[in-house]
Amino acid sequence: MMIQVFSEFFPGMRGQEGKRSNWSAIAGSAVIALLLCLLAYQTWSDKQTADKRAYDHLVDSARLAERGIYSMFATNRSLAVAVSSHILTSKGGLACPIMCDDDLRVVQKTYAELLPGLDLLVMDSDGRTVAETEVGMGNRFPGLFELVEKFRTDRGALAAVRVVRNMRNEPALLVPRPVRDRAGELKAVVVLVEPLSVIAPLFDLPQLGPGHSVTLLDGDQTLLAQVPAPVAINIGQQLADFSLKPGPVAGSVWFKSPLDGRERLTVHRELPFSLTSGQMTLLVGMDKPDYLDEWWHSTQINIALSVLIVLCWIWVVVVMRRASAYYGQLRESIAVTRKVLEEMPVPVALVDKSSGVISHSNAQMVDEFGALAGVGQPVQRLFVNDSAWGDLHSLSSTPPVVEMVARKGRLHVELHRTDLGRLDKQEENYWLVVLIDVSERFLREQRLHHDAYTDTLTGLANRRFFTEAAAAEIKRTQREQHTLAVLGLDLDHFKRVNDQYGHDVGDLVLQSAARVFQSALRTGDFAARMGGEEFSAFLPNADIAQATAVANRVRQAIASTPILLPPGEVLTVTVSIGISLWQEGEEDLQPALKRADQALYQAKQNGRNRVEAFAMGMTEASDE
């Protein structure tokens, strides 16, 4: 039947009409059944792929949301440290021996842009209020005395978080932090009261599209934040009981929100901050229709093809049994089939397997790709890379995403290709090619990949990318039997820069150092920012002498590069660099990085702005 359908559909490919044997019917039925099985498997495989892509997207989004939460608590910690520093360095006085209200309000004003609506309270070691940004805060929140008592009796007690109502009767987080002297004795307790309204903007991530939601709950299911904003409940209220069901991908769950009743594929994270149960719950979800939209379009095409195949199968049985009587009806049905294929909403083409020439293309194919998709044209010309069509022979059964040249520009399409074999008695073998435009999805995945592997401040590779690249380089080093050097770099007195000029200038210094660091390395060397003011690089095929030369070039380049500050002031910085070599038998680069850190520490000890290579007997770097 397939032979007859395509002989009618594509002129010049007809066999001898009306002369079919029982064996032909059996063979045709087997082919039809196989095609249906392939389409069913393709639909199932596409569903698994859609679930996995959605889950990976949610994992990345959850990681960014967690980073925002940790950033907020890091800001809280920085604020508490500022207050603590004032308390510990203050000589006191008769009026306010620990800290005055005015001093506390100065700190509040300093952090007003980062933490709008923040209230501060300082209590002494006996639980008495000594300074507050709003009158009456000490009596507003019950249980503060017990917290002070806990900090005083338990030196290992950490900050705990709970939900309260602030002085403006808004739902807020109460974060107490102890202040201890050098002997570890409690000197005071700093209490931060931060409105919950500052949490939601942390989740307003650019990659979150329609149908996405981010929910943050306290341990007792109190709603701390949600994006989009909730309608049926206020921030700070408790949610009704809900359950999480296992999702389609390991690590995922189905979450039916009690707020809007919609079921979402969700990534579930527990964050250790809540006072009530020791954790907060982060739920990042995506509606089924949103992430399955492309899969559903692909499934519709498969259903249309399956229905078409089944109809043709029925038609061929009728024709084989009553060929003479019903042959005219069969031709009419085939005309309907041709109309269905021509009207399919996606580009479809028949391509000769041996020559790669297009034997037929539907109207959508010609509309999308123009004359290049016409009959008789080489299909390779539609690809940005001419060899892409030939490379498809070595790919797995998963539909590949390739870049093609269309009328409106370059497109990334998912290429579905079915081997039709020989049609009728002709010698040629054919591919049935169906193209689905996935350009938006491809660009979204590219952006997510870039964000996951790049340090956003400096543009260098981040720690994750560095670790993966180092693993690959070690394999190449073992295979080619050459040396591999490691540099550990740290900016000298960077804390002074932050303290004197502020973090904005600190960011400028990091960006400048990263640019100079990257440009001073050799072609093939790999640089990364490991965190803070720490950078690393691995140098393939370099021994200690060569690595020392590169390191000194980096050190001199950074020291001789002036940094122009916004007020017009010029700042220069220096770096200390440690060098080590990867040793045969080490599974990863961590031992070499540790030795480079020891050499870096020695460079710091020897006066900074210098390069040191690792030598046995070097001490490990301290946390300071």
Is the same domain home to 409 and 523? no
Query: In the numeric block, which tokens belong to residue 542?
Result: 């370099």
Residue 261 or 270, more confident:
270
Residue 603 or 153, more confident:
603
Average of per-residue pLDDT across 372-382 = 78
Q: Does residue 15 carry a pLDDT above 50?
A: no
Is the same domain home to 399 and 539? no
Is the same domain home to 428 and 497? no
CATH for 148: 3.30.450.20
CA dist., res. 388 & res. 404, Å (int): 10
Q: Is residue 182 part of a domain?
A: yes
Cα 135 from chain centroid (whole Å): 45
Q: Most confidently modeled of 173-187, 392-406, 470-484?
A: 470-484
Percent above pLDDT 90 for the chain: 23
Cα 99 from chain centroid (whole Å): 44
Domain edge (last residue) among 198, 223, 252: 198
Residue 392 sits at the vertex; the CA angle it makes with 386 and 397, to the nearest 5 degrees, is 160
Task: State how beta strands 611-613 and 575-581 pair.
Answer: parallel
Residue 225 banded pLDDT, cuts 50, 70, 90: confident
Average of per-residue pLDDT across 188-207 = 75
Q: Most confidently modeled of 93-102, 220-229, 274-283?
A: 220-229
Is the same domain home to 425 and 492? no
Q: Does residue 3 carry a pLDDT above 50?
A: no
Is the same domain home to 395 and 462? no
Q: How far is CA 501 from CA 329, 508, 509, 571, 616, in A?
A: 86, 11, 11, 10, 39
Residue 383 banded pLDDT, cuts 50, 70, 90: confident
How many contiguous H segments (helices) and E segments (strands) does the chain have?
16, 23
Residue 438 or 577, more confident:
577
Q: Does residue 353 carry a pLDDT above 80?
A: no
Is the same domain home to 432 and 471? no
Helix axes 2-9, 22-89, angle to 10 degrees: 80
Q: Does residue 260 carry a pLDDT above 90?
A: no
CA dist., res. 31 & res. 418, Å (int): 12
Q: Is residue 538 part of a domain?
A: yes
Residue 16 banded pLDDT, cuts 50, 70, 90: very low
Domain edge (last residue) among 198, 232, 260: 198
Q: Is residue 332 part of a domain?
A: no
Query: In the numeric block, which tokens belong to residue 623?
Result: 């946390």
Domain edge (last residue) among 149, 168, 198: 198
Check residue 581 and give its pLDDT: 96
Query: In the numeric block, which tokens belong to residue 200?
Result: 């939601």
CA dist., res. 382 & res. 375, Å (int): 13
* Contact between residue 323 and residue 331 where contact means Cβ atoms under 8 Å apart: no
Is the same domain home to 518 and 426? no
Q: Is residue 327 part of a domain?
A: no
How many domains does one find in the chain?
3
Is the same domain home to 355 and 500? no
Is the same domain home to 476 and 609? yes
CATH for 588: 3.30.70.270
Check residue 330 and give its pLDDT: 53
C-beta neighbour count of 37 within 10 angstroms = 10
Range of the domain at 361: 345-437
Three-state secondary structure of 46-113: HHHHHHHHHHHHHHHHHHHHHHHHHHHHHHHHHHHHHHHHHHHHCCCCCCCCCCCHHHHHHHHHHCCC
Percent above pLDDT 70 for the chain: 81
Is the same domain home to 414 and 504? no
Residue 397 banded pLDDT, cuts 50, 70, 90: low
The answer, as to whether pTM is greater than 0.95, is no
Check residue 460 and give its pLDDT: 94
Q: Which amino acid is at 144?
A: L
Check residue 26 and give its pLDDT: 76
Average of per-residue pLDDT across 582-606 = 94
Under the phi-then-psi rule, with left for phi > 0, alpha for psi from -120 to 50, and beta for the rest, what region is 400?
beta
Average of per-residue pLDDT across 329-334 = 61
Q: Does residue 623 carry a pLDDT above 60?
A: no
Contacts of 102 (CB under 8 A, 6+ apart): none
Which residue in the block uniquely carries the two structure tokens 């690959």? 472
Q: Is residue 597 part of a domain?
A: yes
Residue 383 burial by CB count (10 A; 0-12/13-18/19+): exposed, middle or buried? Answer: buried
Residue 571 banded pLDDT, cuts 50, 70, 90: very high
- Cis preceding-peptide flag for 289 (omega within 30 of 0): no
* Contact between residue 593 and residue 536 where contact means Cβ atoms under 8 Å apart: yes
Mean pLDDT in the chain?
Answer: 79
Q: Is residue 537 part of a domain?
A: yes
Q: Is residue 384 part of a domain?
A: yes
Check residue 524 and give its pLDDT: 93
Q: Is residue 22 part of a domain?
A: no
Q: Does residue 104 carry a pLDDT above 70?
A: yes
Residue 140 banded pLDDT, cuts 50, 70, 90: confident
Average of per-residue pLDDT across 582-609 = 94
Nearest CA-CA partner of 221 in 243, 236, 238, 234: 238
Is the same domain home to 369 and 503? no
Residue 267 banded pLDDT, cuts 50, 70, 90: confident
Residue 536 or 89, more confident:
536
Is the same domain home to 604 and 472? yes
Check residue 576 and give its pLDDT: 96
